[in-house]
Chain A
Amino acid sequence: MNNRVCITGLGAWSCLGNNLDDVKNSLYTGKSGIGIDPEREGWGYRSKLTGIVSKPELKGLLDRRARIGLSEEAEYAYMATIEALKNAGMDIDWIEKNEVGILYGNDSSAKAVSQAIDTIRLKHDTTLLGSGSIFQSMNCTVTMNLSTILKLKGINFTVSAACASGSHAIGLGYLMIKWGLQKQIICGGAQEVNPYAFGSFDGLSAFSIRENEPAKASRPFDRDRDGLVPSGGAATVILESYESAIQRGANIIAEVVGYGFSSNGDHISNSNVDGQVRSLDMALQDAKVKASEIDYINAHATSTQGGDFTEAQAIDQVFAGCNTLVSSTKSMTGHECWMAGASEIVYSTLMMQNDFVAPNINFENPDESSAKLNIATKTIDKNIDMFLSNSFGFGGTNSTLIIKKYK
């Protein structure tokens, strides 16, 4: 079976905004969502820089039982998902009568786990954790909670693949619909934003320490980058078979046409050109398109020296001579980690819907590798018919998605 796979809904809760309109405006104006979390100083962090993500107010939206099982990242995911479902025109009654699935990227729930252990150590009594702790603490906290709240009856699991989690979740959803196993799947990625979550990453000296200029700290591909800025939130993409979308009279936004993946088989944290090239090539082959047909590349580039250097080489190898526009929206958002692969599909699809390429802010001087790319330093008003989005993670997991405008 080879079903067409459509995107019929989008939703986002990020440091660029808490709804699609605000996020689109931030992308268009090149607004940074980066700031300082003073609490991290007391925790012994090397860098206090972070994406500033607001906490949703769920009282009034969800009852107590639903709320207490939600971890921080699951709260973000809930907000992004109700926006995406509204966007897709799917209400709870329709969902309950159909076999809607969920595949969501998430790879930690550090705050919930840490706070539970702190309580056990303090009280020496596990009952005093309360009933919500277990549902907040598991990696599948997002899918476990949302499938219950939304009464989902289709596929239901979490994808943990480091910083490619959200991208693989969409890729797997795409395959399931393409192969006729499911008709509608809620896909996405979520990332907690708190000191519990990022201490070990900060410990690797991977974060930018440009604290005097938060908005300039994340500078993917720029020669003077000094590390990434951790960030998070959640982003949701509603995937649906073409037949289902037409039958419902849904507004089809775009189509997922290619998914490529690979494993580097190499270092646990260093990236690898060969692995990335294989992921890019596989996505292009799956989409049955030439590199020259891609109008825009949303790069994974996180603002680390090694990662950006490698990706620029991989893109140059696959897109040699195409002069394709490239930008990393992480220049504005920071690195949204488990969420990034999904949020960057939302961001790029918003660009596609509104005919612009968001800038790679803070790109002032290229290095030897990024000099070979056509990096958008300012917002470019341009029609996008097809874009490619890269996501790469620790352990050498690579994922590439290709999205085409629906016509």
Chain B
Amino acid sequence: MTELEIKEKINEFLIAEFEVEAEKIVPGANLRETLDLDSLDYVDLVVIIEDKFGFKVIAEDFINISTFQDFYDYVNGKVLAKESTN
């Protein structure tokens, strides 16, 4: 999966599942504020990522994710790591 494909897949589920408007998704925007995430929403993010990308997010990892770009980079890194071990 390419970096662009990952980004598109993430944006797709954020729009569908978290009902965020497409134009509000910009790489530098704050993820938590834009999606209006509370502690329960993070649990749902874990579920969706596991379903779409096949890896389990550790809750602590979210501490270092601030912007959408951080989120893309994090998922991309995990997917690459997973692909290299397969």
A residues with a Cβ closer than 8 A to B are 63-65, 68, 123, 125, 127-132
Closest beta carbon of chain B to A368's beta carbon, Å:
58
* Closest chain A residue to B35, Cβ basis: A64
Q: Contacts of A129 on B, CB cut-off 8 Å?
A: 47
Beta-carbon contact of B56 and A131 below 8 Å: no
Q: Is B23 an interface residue (CB 8 A)?
A: no
* B17 nearest in chain A by CB position: A64
In the bound complex, residues from chain A placing their C-beta under 8 Å from that of B50 are: 123, 128
Instruction: Find the A residue at minimum CB distance from B47.
Output: A130
How many residues of B are in contact with the other chain, CB < 8 A? 12
Chain A min CB distance to B57 (Å): 9
Given contacts A64-B17, A64-B18, A64-B19, contact A127 B46 (CB under 8 A): yes
B21: Cβ under 8 A from any A Cβ: no
- A130 & B43 in contact (Cβ 8 Å cutoff): yes
User: Which residue of chain B lies nearest to A67 when distances are taken between CB atoms in the complex?
Assistant: B19
Are B43 and A127 in contact, CB atoms less than 8 angstroms apart? yes
Pair B41/A131 contact, Cβ less than 8 Å: yes
Secondary structure of the A contact surface, majority rule: helix
For B40, the closest partner residue in chain A by CB is A131
The residue from A63, A123, A125, A131 contacting B44, defined by CB atoms under 8 A apart = A131
10 smallest A-B Cβ distances: which pairs? A131-B40, A131-B43, A130-B47, A130-B44, A131-B44, A64-B19, A128-B47, A127-B46, A128-B50, A130-B43
Determine the residue in chain A with the shortest Cβ distance to B57: A127
Of residues 16 through 30 on chain B, the ones whose CB sits less than 8 Å from some CB of chain A are: 17-19
Q: Using A64-B18, A130-B43 as known contacts, list a sample of 14 further A-B pairs with CB atoms less than 8 Å apart, ordered by residue number in A.
A: A63-B19, A64-B17, A65-B38, A65-B40, A68-B44, A125-B56, A127-B46, A127-B47, A128-B46, A128-B47, A128-B56, A130-B44, A131-B40, A132-B44
In the complex, chain B residues whose CB is within 8 Å of the CB of A63: 19
Give the shortest distance, in Å, between A37 (CB) and chain B (any CB): 28
A128 to B46, alpha carbons, bound, how many Å? 7
Nearest CB on A from B61, distance (A): 13
Q: Which residues of A contact B56 (CB under 8 A)?
A: 125, 127-128
The chain B residue sitting closest to A69, CB to CB, is: B40
A85 to chain B, nearest CB (A): 24
Most interface-central of A63, A68, A125, A131 (chain B CB within 10 A): A131
Q: Could you say which residues of chain A place their CB within 8 Å of the CB of B44?
A: 68, 130-132
Q: Which residues of B contact A125 (CB under 8 A)?
A: 56
Chain B residue at minimum C-beta to C-beta distance from A127: B46
- A65: chain B residues at CB < 8 Å are 38, 40-41
